[in-house]
Amino acid sequence: YDGDGDQDVIILVEYEPMTISEDPKNLMEVRLYRNRPELKEFVLDTDRMSILNRNSWNCTIQEVMEHMEDVDHQILLNVLTDAIEE
C-alpha cells in the first residue's frame, strides 16, 4: 500500500460497539502493517491508520487504497505544521 514494492498487510476489522446506542451498526477499523524485509518484521503504521479511521476511509480495501494519497498529503502537512511550530 505504501508503494515501496514490498508486500504489506491491510486488515479490515468490523466489531460491535461495546455500548448500546441508537445506531446499532457495527464499527469499522483498518489496521496497516508495513513490511520491513531487512528486519524480517511488519510494523504497525499508526500514522496512516489514524487518518484513515478518523475519516471513515476504512470500509473496503479499495476505499483504503483510493485515499492513500490523501493520507500521505495529510502526514506531510502534519510534519510541516509541526516544524513551523517549533
Confidence of residue 66 (pLDDT cuts 50, 70, 90): very high
CB 26, CB 50: distance < 8 Å:
no
Q: CA–CA separation, 73 vs 47, rounded Å?
A: 12
Residue bearing the bigger pLDDT, 21 or 58: 58
Residue 1 has pLDDT above 90, yes or no: no
Say how many Å lie between the first and final Cα of the chain, rounded: 31
Reported pTM: 0.80
Mean pLDDT, residues 58-64 taken together: 96
Q: What pLDDT does 33 receive?
A: 97
Question: How confident is the model over 35-57, as pLDDT tens digits?
Answer: 998 989 999 999 999 999 999 99
- Tally helices (H) and strands (E) across the chain: 3, 3
